[in-house]
Structure 1
Amino acid sequence: MRILHTSDWHLGRSFHREGMLEHQAAYVDHLVEVVESEKVDLVVVAGDIYDRALPPVDAVRLANETFTRIARSRAKLVVTSGNHDSAQRLGFGAELMDAAGVFVRTSSLSIGAPIMLDDEHGPVAVHGLPYLDPDLVREPWGLAERSHEAALTEAMRRVRADLATQPKGTRSIVMAHAFVAGTKPVTPSESERDISVGGVSIVPTDVFDGIDYVALGHLHGRHTLSESIRYSGSPLAYSFSETGHRKGSWLVELDASGVSAAAFIDAPVPRALAQIRGDIESLLTRTDLDSHESAWVQATLTDDVRPVRAMERLRERFPHTLVLAFEPANGRTARLPSTRPAAGTSDHAIAVDFLAEMRGRPASHEEAALLRDACDSCSPDHDLDRVVS
C-alpha cells in the first residue's frame, strides 16, 4: 500500500496579509498529480484542514473541491480534525462521505472503530484520531490527569483493543494531531497555535509503540521521530520561522511487515522566504542579497536612528517585503515613558516626545506640524492644542 501523508493545510490562512488561497489551490493540484503519478492508494490528512473554526466560504469551497477530486481518483482519503478545525463543522456529512471513499473522523466517539482497507498483503486498519482536548475528554474517559499524554494514552488503549480483534497480520496506521517528541529536540514554528494544558503538551513516542505507521499533524516542520512515526509539516510556510523548512508530503510504502520505504515529495513553493538584517544602506546595496529580491522578506534594521520611509525604500529593491523590525546596533531600544507627563502638558507635546523616544531623533518641523493638526482634529476644544511657533 502506498500512502501519502500530509497535514496542516490551514485553508483560508493568510501570510502577513498576503492571501494564500491561490497557493493552497496549487498545492491541491500538486497533490492530485502525485496521487496519479505515484500510484497512491491512500491519502491521510492529519488535522488542521482549515485555519479557524469558522473558515471563509472560499476555503470551504476549496476543501469540498479537494475531497471530491481525491474521491474520483485512485486513492481513498482519510481526514481528521486538528486544533484549528471545528470538529462539528468539518465532520458534517461524514457518514455520507464514507460511501464515496472519503473518511472524515472528528469525534472521540469514533476512536477504536477503524477504516478497514486491503492490499495484496491483506487488511490494513486505519485509526484516525481527531485532536483530543484533554479538558473535553478527561471526565467522560475518567482520565487520572489533565494532559495530552493521558488523552492519547487512553485513545491508543482503545485502538489496541480493536487491533487485538483483527485477523493476524493486519497492519495498522494511526493518525494523530498533537505535539509528539522523541529523543531528538523538536522546535515548534511561530505559526503553530499553543496547545499546552497547564504546561503539559508533549506526548512521548512510546504512546504509539507497536503501530506500523503513525501520521502526525500539528508541527509545521517535517520531522522523522522514528522510521514509523513522522510529521509531514504544513505544505506551505505560514511564518518566517519556517524560512529553512522543506515543504511537502511523505510517500510511505507499507508491505507485509510494515514500513518498507519513505520518501519526501516536495510541494510547489509559491515564493521563497528571506530574513535579512543590517543597516538600511547596506541592505539596499549588498550584492549578496540579489537572490532575495523576488522573495517574501522579513527585514531587521540595525540603524542607530530609525530611518525615514524605511519600508518604502526597502520595497524599491525588495518589493515583497512584508515585515519590518528595528534592533539598533547600539543596543538602544525604544521604551514607553516610565513616568506620566507633567500636569498641563499638551497632547501635542506628548505626541512629539513619544515620536522622539520611539525613533531616536526629534520630529522634524513638518512632522510636528502634522501631529499638531492631528491633535487639534481629535480635541473637543479646537483651541486646546494650538501652539504658537
Structure 2
Amino acid sequence: MRILHTSDWHLGRTLHGVDLTDHHAAFLDHLVEVVREERVDAVLVAGDVYDRALPPVDSVALLSDALTRLTEHTRVVLTPGNHDSATRLGFGSGLFRDRLCVRARVPDLGRPVELPAADGSLGARVYALPYLDPDLAREDLADPGEDGAGRTVPARSHEAVTTAALARVRSDLARRRAAEARATPAALVAHTFVTGGAPSESERDIRVGGVDQVPSGVFADVGLDYVALGHLHGPQRVGRDGVDPAMRYAGSPLAFSFSEARHRKSTAIVDLGPDGVRDVDLVETPVPRPLADVTGPLEEVLGRRFDHLTGHWVRVTVTDPVRPEQLWARVSRRFPHALVLRHDPADVPARRPGPSAATVAQDPLEVATSFLRAAGGRPAEEAEVAVLRQAYESVLAAERSA
C-alpha cells in the first residue's frame, strides 16, 4: 500500500496580512498531480485543514474542489485538528461513501478505515483520531468498567485522553489481527504534540493545565506500523527508534511564520507492507515565495549585498543607532515584498534587567506572571497563577467552540 501523508493546510490563513489563497491553490494542484503520478492508494490528512472554525467561503470552495479532484484518483482519510471545528468539518461524513472518509467523532476512533489493495484484498487499516481536547473528549473516552460499574474518566491532560483513545485502537486492532492469517499493516492519523518534536512560532497553543505534549511511549505496543502526525509545522521524525512505531510530522505545506524560513516543506509518501514501513519518500512542495531575514545598517540593507532577496518575503531589521527617516518607504522600494520592518539599534547601552517583549512562542501564562512580577515586585502566588490559567484556558475554550 502506498499512502501520502499531509497535514496542516490551514486554508484561509494569511501571512502578515498577505492572502495565501493562490498559494494554497498551487499546493493543492501539486498534491493532486503527485497522487496521480505516484499512484497513491490513500491520502491521510492529519488535521488543521482550515485555519479557523469558521473558514472563509473561498477556503470552503477550495477544499471542496481539492477533495473532488483527489477522490478521482485515490481515497482520502481526513480528520480535524485544533484549528478546525470537528462538527462543521465532519458535516455529512455519514453520507460519504468509499473514496472519502472524514473521521471527526470520538466514538469512531476505535473503528478503522479499511483500504483495499489493488487486487481487491485488504491492504491496510487506518485509525483516525480527531484532535482530542481534554476538556471535551474526557467524557467520551471514559472507561465504563465491567458491567458498567466503576466508570473511569481520563485525567485532564493530552497524555491521558490520547492514552485512552489508543487503548481502544489497541483492543480493536488486536481482535482483528487475531482473526486473520497474515498481518495487515495499520496506520494511525493523529493531531497532537508529541514530546521531542520541534515547534515553530505559528502553531496555536494547546496547553491544558500547563502541558501541551504527549510522550511518544503512549503509541508503543499498540500494534501500529506508522503514525501520521499533524500539528507541528516542520516536517520531522519523532519517537524512539526500535521502540515506537515509525512516527512523522508531515508539516505544513506553506511557511506561516519567519521561524519556518529554513523548513523544506514536503509531503511524505509511505510504502506499507505486511512487514510494516518499507520506505518513506519526501516530496517537496512548491515554494511560492521564499522567506528570509535581512539585518544590518540601512546603507547595507539598501546596498547590493541582498540583491538575491528582492523577490522574497522579507523581515528587515535595521541596526542604525538612530531610526532613519522614511524608513518603511525606503525599505519597501528596495524589497517590494517586505512584510516586517524592525529598528533594533546594534550599539545600545546595556539596560537594567526588566520585562522583555512577548513573542508568540512563549507560554502566555509565563508572560502574564512575568508582568505581575514586574508590576508588583513579587512573584505571583500559586492561587493567582491558578486564576490566570483558568482565565486563559476559558478563552481558548471559547475560541474552540466558535
For 1:315, give the aligned amino acid. S
**3-state SS of paired residue (1:179):** coil
Q: Which amino acid in structure 2 is aligned with residue 296 of structure 1?
A: W
Task: Report whether the alignment pairs 1:157 with 2:167.
Answer: yes
Q: Distance in 1 between matches of 2:108 and 2:122?
A: 23
Matched, 1:246 2:264: yes
- Indicate which of 224, 228, 232 corresponds to 2:237: 224
How many angstroms apart in 2 are the aligned matches of 1:251 and 1:94?
Answer: 25
2:134–2:156: 8 Å Cα contact kept in structure 1? yes
Q: Select the residue among 296, 301, 304 that pairs with 1:278.
A: 296
The yes-or-no answer on 1:206 pairing with 2:217 is yes
Cα shift readout 1:240-297 (whole Å, capped 9, x = no counterpart): 1100000110011001211000011000000011111111111111x33111110000
Residue of structure 2 in register with 1:339 after alignment? none
| 1:76-95 correspondence to structure 2 within 5 Å | 76-95=75-94
- 2:191 pairs with one of 166, 177, 198: 177
2:308 match: 291
How far has the Cα of 1:329 moved from its partner?
Answer: 1.1
| 1:314 and 2:327 aligned | no
AA partner of residue 84 (structure 1): H
Q: Secondary structure at the match of 2:329?
A: helix
- Contact 2:114 / 2:122 at 8 angstroms: preserved in 1? no
One-letter code aligned to 1:164: A
Kept in 2: contact 1:327–1:333 (CA 8 A): no
Q: CA deviation at 1:201?
A: 1.2
State the shift of 1:49 in Å.
0.4
1:143 is aligned to 2:153: yes
Cα deviation, 1:139-191, whole Å, max 9, x if unaligned, reads 34243421111111000000011101214412211000010124xxx331111
CA distance in 2, matches of 1:143, 1:328: 54
Alignment of 1:297-308 (within 5 A): 297-308=314-325
Instruction: Find the partner of 1:197 among 201, 208, 225.
Output: 208
Q: Report the CA distance between 1:211 and its aligned residue.
A: 1.0
AA matched with 1:25: A
Q: Describe the shift of the 1:21–1:268 C-alpha distance in structure 2 as closer, same or farther (beyond 3 A).
A: same
Rounded Cα–Cα distance in structure 2 between residues aligned with 1:123 and 1:23 = 34
Contact 2:225-2:276 at 8 Å conserved across structures = yes
What is the TM-score with the length of structure 1 in the denominator? 0.82
Count of residues in Structure 1 that have an aligned counterpart in Structure 2 = 329
Alpha-carbon RMSD: 1.7
Q: What code does the residue aligned with 2:10 have?
A: H
Aligned equivalent of 1:104: 102
Q: Deviations over 1:123-153 (max 9, x none)?
A: 4211110000001122342434211111110
1:333, distance to aligned residue in structure 2 (A): 9.8
Q: Distance in 1 between matches of 2:170 and 2:258?
A: 40
- What is the Cα deviation at residue 40 of structure 1? 0.5
Moved more, 219-228 or 7-16: 219-228
Amino acid at match of 1:201: D
Q: Which consecutive residues of structure 1, in runs of 5 or more, have no partner in the other structure? A: 336-389
CA distance in 2, matches of 1:123, 1:314: 56
Distance 1:214 1:63 in 2: 24
Partner of residue 176 from structure 2, selected from 161, 166, 174: 166
Q: List alignment gaps of at least 5 residues for structure 2.
A: 143-151, 353-402
1:200-228 C-alpha deviation (Å, 9 max, x unpaired): 11111121113100000000001111571
Q: For 1:88, give the aligned amino acid.
A: T
Structure of higher CA gyration radius: 1
Select 1:235's aligned residue among 230, 253, 256. Answer: 253
Question: Which amino acid in 2 is paired with 1:193?
Answer: R
User: 1:330 deviation in Å?
Assistant: 2.1
Match of residue 382 from structure 1? none
Contact 1:94–1:105 (CA under 8 A) maintained in structure 2:
yes
Letter of the 2:82 counterpart: N
Identity across matched positions, percent: 51
SS in structure 1 at match of 2:294: strand
1:325 aligned onto 2:339: no
Report the 3-state secondary structure (helix = DSSP H, G, I; strand = E; otherwise coil) of the residue aligned with 1:126. Answer: strand
What's the counterpart of residue 54 of structure 2?
54
